[in-house]
Chains A and B, each alone.
Chain A
Amino acid sequence: MSENVKKKQIDRRWIFLLLFLAVAIPLIFVIGLPIETTENVRMVHGLIEQTPKGSKVIISFDYDPASKPELHPMGKALMEHCFDRDIKVIVTALWPMGVQMAEDIYSKIKDNYPDKKYGVDYVNMGYKAGGIVTIQAMGKNFRDIFPQDMNGTSIDELPILDGINNFDNLGFVFALSAGDPGIKQWVQVAHDTYGRPVSGGVTGVSAPAVIPYVNQQQQLIGLLAGLKGAAEYELLTETPGTATSGMDAQSVAHLIIIIFIVAGNINYWRNKKAEKKRGE
């Protein structure tokens, strides 16, 4: 890079400041930009809508606080949707802190569902190490892998787990995934081996690697990708939350990034042309 080009570059700290303001201001002064729903998110919504009332499903919290801004709103909206539809939720976690993530959501929404009882409509089975091997073993015998819930209560004393022996007894599996182990392993075992419907929500970073599973083979039934996916789902379930309120900031920040990319490219081509003229 020539010295001339270096001189023309702006201090990157100005970009940081601009992005900070681009995110902060729309959070304080809400613009209310429209949010469009996409097919992948509508598929997830449809899966829950079509699941019969009283069904038991697994929601696997495979993330930690580092991915909370993206995956937590999905988890909250999904759990509320399940409770609204009288679907019983069995929580598992392939990541240690996923247990606390699920509990945080349950503690926030349980007051809105006074008729839902722990052990009857919702249970948190806690964390299990082992990733894909654990999922594989769950498919053979769920009760062997989770003999008790996270509080140490025996599986036989929890009515929600009556008759749950393997994936055949579940409506679907939903993985909230920030990486490995996560949604990929659920697809590989729960769907591709045991043929159960699998859906999920992932961080924006991992979305491009997971989207191909939403295909004609229905390895995944829909996908919530990043904060946008969470906001779309909140819109469909009519439960606006932190994802919806963050979308204005997201859009403005993206606009700033696009402007900088375009300006940077124009500058690059102008410099290249000038260097060519000078014969460098």
Chain B
Amino acid sequence: MMEHFFSVLGIWLGVIVTFAIFSFLYKDNPFYKVAEQIFVGLSAGYWFVYTIYFILIPNLFDPLINDFAGNWIKLIPAVLGIMMLMRLLPKTGWVSRFPIALVIGTTSGVFFLRYLKSDVINQLTATMMNPFTGGDWVVVIGQIMLVVGTLTGVIYFYFSKKHEGVFGATAKVGIYFLMISFGAAFGYTAMARISLLIGRLQFLLGDWLGIISP
């Protein structure tokens, strides 16, 4: 009984907040503002509690309390975390530069290796192929476009030579490939936004009104 009540209450709250947010499409209004502020407040509260219970307690406090000898090394990130928090006080803000520097340095190192292998070496290797083999004419055309698009695209971003003559024409072909890729990205974005509207309407028409099966 109680479970059903809270389920219905949850749906109604979802409906009210959905309409409050949608009302912004007409014009800015107090209902939208209230929904927006509730979202911001809830998110902040949720993340605060989540960080304590699902990050700090299981990864730091529990290991230190249960087996300090085996986990004392976790004191180092704990101290770095406290140094980061000192940013909140103007006088001690400079202390936070050290953990920030460490984060930037390690992140750069990790990402450099990963992206070099995955986004440069492997991607380039995937382009080094005989485009005329491997399937029917649709596949062959696709492979030719992959090779031509990659080469001309890279040439467009080569700025140490003036874009004129054959070099300029090749760079121009690269621009067309880039334009087509921007169009495809826009198409995907439009599809994604419409999908979100579909999701909301499936909730309104299905879960709330029961007109369609959810």
Contacts of A20 in B (CB 8 A): 197, 201
- Determine if B92 is an interface residue (Cβ-Cβ < 8 Å): no
- Determine if A5 is an interface residue (Cβ-Cβ < 8 Å): no
Distance in angstroms from B40 CB to nearest chain A CB is: 14
- Determine if A271 is an interface residue (Cβ-Cβ < 8 Å): no
A70 B195 Cβ-Cβ under 8 A: yes
> What DSSP secondary structure best describes chain B's contact surface?
helix
- Determine if A139 is an interface residue (Cβ-Cβ < 8 Å): no
- Determine if B132 is an interface residue (Cβ-Cβ < 8 Å): no
Contacts of B196 in A (CB 8 A): 66, 69-70
- Determine if A228 is an interface residue (Cβ-Cβ < 8 Å): yes
The stretch of A76-84, A169-177, A187-195 that contacts the partner chain: A187-195
- Determine if A257 is an interface residue (Cβ-Cβ < 8 Å): yes
The stretch of B2-10, B81-89, B158-166, B185-193 that contacts the partner chain: B185-193
B54 A28 Cβ-Cβ under 8 A: no
- Determine if B211 is an interface residue (Cβ-Cβ < 8 Å): yes
Distance in angstroms from B74 CB to nearest chain A CB is: 13
* Assembled-state Cα–Cα distance A242/B111 (Å): 37
- Determine if B44 is an interface residue (Cβ-Cβ < 8 Å): no
* Assembled-state Cα–Cα distance A249/B204 (Å): 15
- Determine if A182 is an interface residue (Cβ-Cβ < 8 Å): no
- Determine if B42 is an interface residue (Cβ-Cβ < 8 Å): no
Contacts of B33 in A (CB 8 A): none
Chain B residues within 8 Å of chain A by Cβ, number: 38
* Assembled-state Cα–Cα distance A257/B190 (Å): 9
A69 B202 Cβ-Cβ under 8 A: yes
A166-210 interface with B by 8 A CB criterion = 184, 187-189, 192-193, 203-205, 207-208
B192 A205 Cβ-Cβ under 8 A: yes
* Assembled-state Cα–Cα distance A76/B129 (Å): 37
Contacts of B194 in A (CB 8 A): 19, 23, 249-250, 253-254, 257
- Determine if B123 is an interface residue (Cβ-Cβ < 8 Å): yes
B188 A227 Cβ-Cβ under 8 A: no
Chain B 172-214 near chain A by CB (<8 Å), digits 1 or 0 = 0000000001001100111110111111111001000001101
- Determine if B114 is an interface residue (Cβ-Cβ < 8 Å): yes
- Determine if A16 is an interface residue (Cβ-Cβ < 8 Å): yes
* Assembled-state Cα–Cα distance A69/B50 (Å): 24
Partner of A250 from B184, B198, B212 at Cβ < 8 Å: B198
B191 A27 Cβ-Cβ under 8 A: no
* Residue of chain B at shortest CB distance from A15: B25
- Determine if A127 is an interface residue (Cβ-Cβ < 8 Å): yes
Contacts of A215 in B (CB 8 A): 122-123, 126
- Determine if A54 is an interface residue (Cβ-Cβ < 8 Å): no
B195 A250 Cβ-Cβ under 8 A: yes
Chain A 204-237 near chain B by CB (<8 Å), digits 1 or 0 = 1101100011011101000001111000000000
B191 A204 Cβ-Cβ under 8 A: yes
Contacts of B97 in A (CB 8 A): none
Contacts of B117 in A (CB 8 A): 188, 192-193
* Assembled-state Cα–Cα distance A69/B18 (Å): 15
* Assembled-state Cα–Cα distance A217/B122 (Å): 7
- Determine if A13 is an interface residue (Cβ-Cβ < 8 Å): yes
Q: Give 11 pairs: A residue, B residue, CB < 8 Å, sorted on A.
A: A19-B197, A24-B205, A66-B196, A127-B54, A184-B118, A187-B118, A205-B192, A226-B191, A245-B212, A246-B198, A250-B191
> Contacts A227-B192, A249-B198 given; 16 further ones with Cβ under 8 A?
A27-B212, A69-B195, A69-B200, A132-B111, A189-B114, A192-B117, A203-B192, A204-B188, A215-B123, A217-B125, A226-B192, A226-B195, A246-B195, A249-B194, A250-B191, A254-B194
Binding site for A on B (CB under 8 A): 25-26, 50, 54-55, 59, 110-111, 114-115, 117-118, 122-123, 125-126, 129, 181, 184-185, 188-192, 194-202, 205, 211-212, 214
